[in-house]
C-alpha cells in the first residue's frame, strides 16, 4: 500500500501553506487542512462502500471489512441510498437535467424518476460536458431511448397525462443515490460545484442501475468516462 504523508511531512506542509510564523495563523491553517483531509477521506471511503453496495455486497460483509458493527456501518453510509438529494451546489445545467428528468418520466407515463430518466434528460442539455462525451462515443439520445424502451418500457396512458413535480419528484432509491453520489464525485475531483460530468460519473457507483447498464452496453466504461471528463476540464483551463 502506498503510504500517506507522515506527521512531519504534514506539519511542514501546513507551515508552508500558512506562510507565517504566527502560531495562530498556523493553527488556523492546520484546522482547515485537517478538515479537508477528513472530508476527502470520508468521501473516498464512502465511494468504495457505494461500489461494494452497488456490486451487491451486504452490510454484514461491509461492516466486517471496516471492523465495525453492521448498525454502525449502515448508520454512517446508508444515507446516500435513502436520503433526499441536496442540490445546493448543482450548476444551472445540472439542475436543468434533474428537473427535465421528471418530464421525461411523465412522458413515459412513469410515476417515478429513475436512473434511466436522468440519463435521457442529459440530452436536454446538448452543450453539457456529459452529453458531449456521450455523443462522442456514439451514445445518442435515440440509442439510449431504444435501450430504455427495452429495459423500462413506457406505460400505456389510461387517463389524463401524468405530471410529476419537477422540484420534488418521487426518485427511485437508485436515482437518489446517483444524485447524492454526484456530490461525492465533485469532491473527488476537487470541485466545489456539481455538474453534468459528476452526474455521469455517479452512474457508475451502482453497477445494477439501468443507466449504468446502458452506458456499459453501449461502450462507455467508467475509466474512459473519467479520462474524457478530465481531458474536457483541462481544455477549459488552456
In a domain, 82, yes or no: no
pTM strictly above 0.85? no
d(CA 91, CA 150): 31
Task: Read off the C-alpha cell for 123.
Answer: 440530452
Is 19 within a domain?
yes
pLDDT the model gives residue 147: 97
104 and 155 belong to one structural domain: yes
- Number of domains the chain contains: 2
> What does the pLDDT read at residue 84?
62
Q: What is the pLDDT of residue 20?
A: 86
Quote the pLDDT of residue 72.
74
Based on the fold, state whether residues 108 and 206 are members of the same structural domain: yes
The per-residue pLDDT for 52 is 78
- At residue 225, the pLDDT reads 96
Q: Is residue 122 situated within a structural domain? A: yes
Asked whether residue 178 is assigned to any structural domain, the reply reads yes
Domain boundary among 77, 111, 128: 77
**Alpha carbons 162 and 202: distance in angstroms, whole number:** 28
Question: What pLDDT sits at residue 85?
Answer: 67
pLDDT for 132 equals 97
Tens digits of residue pLDDT in 138-174: 999 999 999 999 999 988 877 666 777 767 788 898 8
Measured CA distances, 89 to 144, 168, 170, 196 (Å)? 27, 17, 21, 12
Q: Which of 53, 77, 101 is the last residue of a domain?
A: 77
Asked whether residue 68 falls in the same domain as residue 99, the answer is: no
Task: Let me know whether 112 and 42 are in one domain.
Answer: no
| Residue 130 lies in domain | 92-236
Cα angle 132, 134, 135 (rounded to 5 degrees) comes to 65
- Phi, psi at 91, each rounded to 5°: -75, 170
Are 96 and 66 part of one and the same domain? no
Task: Collect the ranges in the chain with pLDDT lower than 70.
Answer: 1-4, 39-40, 42-43, 54, 74-85, 159-161, 166, 237-238
Amino acid at each position: 500500500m502506498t503510504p500517506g504523508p507522515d506527521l512531519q511531512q504534514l506539519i511542514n506542509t501546513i507551515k508552508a501553506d500558512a506562510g507565517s510564523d504566527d502560531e495562530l495563523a498556523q493553527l488556523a491553517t492546520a484546522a482547515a487542512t485537517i478538515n479537508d483531509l477528513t472530508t476527502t477521506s470520508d468521501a473516498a471511503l464512502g465511494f468504495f462502500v457505494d461500489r461494494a453496495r452497488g456490486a451487491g455486497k451486504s452490510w454484514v460483509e461491509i461492516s466486517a471489512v471496516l471492523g465495525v458493527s453492521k448498525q454502525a456501518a449502515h448508520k454512517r453510509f446508508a444515507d446516500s441510498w435513502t436520503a433526499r438529494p441536496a442540490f445546493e451546489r448543482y450548476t444551472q445545467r445540472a439542475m436543468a437535467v434533474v428537473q427535465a428528468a421528471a418530464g421525461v418520466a411523465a412522458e413515459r407515463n412513469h410515476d417515478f424518476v429513475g436512473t434511466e430518466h436522468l440519463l435521457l434528460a442529459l440530452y436536454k442539455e446538448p452543450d453539457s460536458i456529459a452529453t458531449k462525451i456521450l455523443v462522442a462515443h456514439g451514445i445518442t439520445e435515440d440509442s439510449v431511448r431504444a435501450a430504455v424502451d427495452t429495459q423500462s418500457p413506457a406505460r400505456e396512458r389510461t387517463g389524463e397525462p401524468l405530471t410529476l413535480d419537477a422540484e420534488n419528484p418521487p426518485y427511485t432509491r437508485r436515482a437518489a443515490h446517483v444524485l447524492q453520489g454526484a456530490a461525492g464525485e465533485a469532491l473527488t475531483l476537487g470541485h466545489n460545484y456539481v455538474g453534468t460530468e459528476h452526474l455521469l460519473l455517479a452512474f457508475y457507483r451502482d453497477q445494477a442501475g439501468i443507466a449504468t447498464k446502458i452506458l456499459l452496453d453501449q461502450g462507455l466504461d467508467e475509466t474512459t468516462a473519467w479520462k474524457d471528463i478530465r481531458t474536457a476540464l483541462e481544455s477549459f483551463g488552456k
